[in-house]
């Protein structure tokens, strides 16, 4: 029989409708955004050969990088401008760490490839194994000492670069940094990290920052050096404890706490993440400093405060950063925000003299939070939800309002802003997956709303997959995790018309999250295990749905579904005492 399918459909052994869709191509290629090619001479490549070829190419690239790398002296801090997607960071200066060193990491091995036989598994049948896919991390190689990401061609301004290049040798605990290393760290912070929370800083030089706030100095060193985090984390935590018990605070203290919220320490369990506590501390210290009234000059000053008053823009942008972090933390945990959006703060969102990325972040999060509170907090139900019809109308209203804010994203064109924007859109539209909302919709209307949700969640996965999640802000990993839960919930319903596309996106999310985990015990790996089983599980309804978590209900309720199924497969395991949201022990193939 003569082949009539395109090369993509023949490769994945799927039905092709290219003949019906000509000349636009088959629906699968259109969904994936690739050209639909018909080649009678095409021969399918087995998965085993593809995996072997990929592993071979990775080994060759690593070998080429090792052979071309050269040691760099401590005094040599020459910059090597590379793209963010580079396989390895530029060579850095030597780092001296005394005392016990962290255990070396080894490249993850590729799991055994599948055979070449067609996959006859039912869409509702779970996978045969429960393993976290491991791909070689793009930021780990023999020349990486500080664990700092490659520098972008868009560096700091000449004035800023000349200021931060001046530094002094610094040490704390068992960590010692030379002056050149300190200067390199701060250059990279302003080039790569500061854009995610662009508040204005009083000082740009490393020495001035250290003099005004050692906490801010070491926080910058910690977040820009992932390999040093195991050593610096307990030291930074002790510095934070000192902040709690001292009456003297500064704007730099607030900024340091905010950075710890955007780049939280990696943990094994969600209960070990204290970024919500740091966010509350930053907000309260900011209130005591009068940051919410940035026009004031003396109202909140103390007699012992001899430091110069930061200018109005420093105070205002720091308070706006508090607003952003507070909204992100509340969104992640499904609770109402603790920082009020007063008219003075909201008016600053339109200030053309402030950083546009920061004002756009504030406006997007403000609009989303308004919708989330109206839909799932101010309602008459005990859970805070509005009635299904009202909730559906509000969902459409705030989806339109977020669409109107798309001009902010297009005008700024930063991945950090686009991730937050899509994350908010997906959360608003995810209310359509709630059972009572689904019951109020007709089939055609439900299919259309699911289609719109699928488009946004796929765009969010692609965008998060395009950045290095290992060194990116924490809310980027949270956004990818939320997208994975939404994909799993859609696959559990009969309304998806693009199951293969969604399954492929979920696999990409698992791979990206798995590659960002610094250890097998990281909480991200445990979420990946859930993603492998959730699409094939049904809601046993042994307990009421978790609908009190506002827009984060998808994450929490999906974990409920997972654990109810897990308890049925392993009735001997006791999940009481907080174990419901902690994957321990990990599921095995036999359990599925």
Please say which residue of 306, 338, 370 terminates a domain.
Answer: 338
Using alpha carbons, select from 590, 329, 339, 355 the residue that is nearest to residue 473.
Answer: 329
pLDDT digits (tens, 9 = 90+) for 55-81: 777 777 777 776 665 443 333 333 333
- Is residue 56 domain-shared with residue 191, that is, in the same domain? no
Per residue in 404-419, pLDDT (tens digit) is 988 766 766 688 899 9
Tell me if 288 is assigned to some domain: yes
**For residue 178, what are the domain limits?**
153-338
Please report whether residue 79 resides in a domain. Answer: no
Look at residue 55 and tell me if it is in a domain: yes
User: What number is the average pLDDT over the span 466-479?
Assistant: 92
| Position 310 pLDDT exceeds 50 | yes
**Most confident stretch, 12-21, 231-240, 578-587:** 231-240
| Residue 48 CB neighbours (<10 A) | 13
> Burial, 352: exposed, middle or buried (Cβ in 10 Å; 0-12, 13-18, 19+)?
exposed
CA angle 266, 227, 521 (to 5 degrees): 35
* Residue 227 within any structural domain of the chain: yes
Task: Report yes or no on 237 lying in a domain.
Answer: yes
> What's the pLDDT score for residue 305?
65
Phi-psi map region of 550: left, alpha, beta (phi>0 left; psi -120 to 50 alpha): left
Domain stops at, among 338, 354, 373 = 338
| Statement to judge: residues 54 and 165 lie in one domain | no
Helix (H, G, I), strand (E, B) or coil at 567: helix
Neighbours of 507 (CB within 10 A): 15
Note whether 195 and 328 are same-domain residues: yes
Regarding whether 169 and 32 lie in a shared domain, the answer is no
Number of domains in the chain: 2
Both 180 and 294 in one domain: the answer is yes
Kindly state whether residue 507 falls inside one of the protein's structural domains: no
Strands 96-97, 170-172: pairing is unpaired
Q: Are residues 307 and 166 in the same domain?
A: yes
Cis omega before residue 127 (within 30°)?
no
**pLDDT interval class at 209 (50, 70, 90):** very high
pLDDT at 303: 63
| Residue 57 and residue 167 in one domain | no
Q: Which of 68, 85, 107 is the last residue of a domain?
A: 68
Question: pLDDT per residue over 45-57, tens digit each?
Answer: 877 777 777 777 7
Q: Are 269 and 523 in contact (CB under 8 A)?
A: yes
Cβ partners under 8 Å of residue 407, min gap 6: none
Is the same domain home to 302 and 167? yes
Instruction: Give SS3 for 370.
Output: helix
Examine residue 206 and state whether it is found in any structural domain, yes or no.
yes
| Radius of gyration of the chain measured on its C-alpha atoms | 25
Q: Is 141 inside a domain boundary? A: no
Whether 64 and 163 share a structural domain: no
Same domain, yes or no, for 181 and 278?
yes
pLDDT in tens, 130-146: 544 444 443 333 334 34
pLDDT score at 573:
58
Same domain? 224 vs 326: yes
Say which CATH number the domain at 55 has.
4.10.240.10
Distance of CA 308 to the CA centre of its chain: 36
**42 and 167 belong to one structural domain:** no
């Amino acid at each position: 029989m003569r082949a009539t399918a395109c090369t993509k459909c023949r490769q994945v052994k799927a039905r092709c409708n290219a003949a019906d869709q000509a000349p636009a191509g088959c629906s699968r290629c259109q969904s994936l955004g690739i050209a639909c090619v018909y080649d009678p001479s095409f021969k399918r490549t087995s998965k085993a050969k593809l995996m072997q070829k990929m592993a071979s190419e990775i080994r060759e690239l690593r070998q080429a990088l090792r052979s071309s790398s050269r040691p760099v002296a401590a005094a040599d801090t020459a910059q090597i401008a590379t793209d963010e997607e580079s396989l390895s960071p530029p060579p850095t200066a030597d780092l001296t760490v005394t005392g016990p060193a962290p255990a070396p990491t080894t490249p993850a091995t590729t799991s055994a490839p599948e055979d070449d036989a067609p996959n006859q598994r039912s869409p509702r049948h779970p996978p045969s194994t429960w393993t976290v896919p491991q791909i070689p991390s793009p930021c780990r190689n023999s020349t990486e000492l500080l664990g700092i990401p490659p520098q972008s061609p868009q560096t700091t301004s000449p004035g800023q670069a000349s200021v931060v290049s001046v530094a002094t040798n610094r040490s704390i605990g068992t960590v010692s940094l030379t002056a050149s290393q300190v200067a390199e760290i701060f250059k990279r912070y302003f080039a790569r990290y500061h854009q995610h929370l662009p508040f204005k800083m009083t000082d740009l030089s490393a020495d001035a920052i250290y003099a005004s706030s050692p906490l801010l100095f070491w926080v910058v060193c910690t977040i820009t050096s992932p390999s040093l985090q195991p050593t610096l984390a307990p030291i930074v935590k002790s510095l934070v404890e000192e902040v709690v018990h001292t009456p003297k605070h500064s704007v730099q203290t607030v900024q340091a706490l905010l950075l710890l919220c955007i780049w939280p320490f990696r943990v094994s369990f969600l209960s070990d993440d204290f970024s919500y506590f740091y966010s509350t501390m930053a907000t309260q210290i900011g209130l005591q400093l009068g940051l919410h009234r940035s026009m004031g000059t003396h109202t909140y000053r103390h007699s012992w405060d001899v430091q110069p008053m930061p200018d109005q823009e420093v105070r205002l942008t720091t308070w706006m950063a508090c607003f952003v972090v507070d909204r992100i933390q509340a969104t992640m945990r499904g609770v109402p925000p603790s920082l009020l959006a007063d008219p003075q703060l909201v008016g600053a969102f339109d200030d053309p003299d402030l950083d546009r990325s920061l004002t756009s972040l504030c406006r997007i999060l403000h609009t989303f939070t308004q919708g989330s509170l109206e839909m799932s907090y101010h309602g008459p139900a005990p859970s805070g939800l509005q009635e299904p019809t009202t909730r559906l109308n509000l969902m459409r209203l705030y989806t339109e309002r977020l669409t109107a804010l798309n001009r902010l994203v297009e005008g700024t064109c930063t991945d950090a802003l686009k991730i937050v924007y899509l994350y908010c859109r997906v959360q608003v539209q995810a209310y359509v997956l709630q059972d009572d909302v689904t019951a109020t919709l007709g089939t055609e209307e439900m299919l259309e709303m699911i289609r719109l949700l699928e488009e946004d969640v796929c765009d969010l996965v692609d965008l998060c997959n395009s950045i290095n999640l290992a060194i990116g802000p924490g809310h980027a990993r949270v956004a990818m995790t939320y997208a994975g839960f939404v994909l799993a919930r859609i696959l559990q319903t009969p309304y998806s018309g693009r199951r293969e596309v969604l399954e492929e996106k979920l696999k990409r999310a698992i791979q990206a999250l798995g590659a960002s985990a610094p250890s097998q015990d990281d909480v991200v790996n445990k979420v990946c295990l859930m993603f492998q089983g959730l699409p094939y599980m049904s809601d046993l309804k042994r307990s009421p749905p978790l609908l009190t978590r506002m827009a984060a209900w998808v994450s929490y309720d999906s974990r409920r579904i997972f654990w109810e199924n897990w308890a049925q497969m392993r009735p001997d395991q006791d999940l009481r005492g907080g174990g419901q949201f902690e994957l321990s022990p990990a599921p095995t193939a036999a359990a599925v």
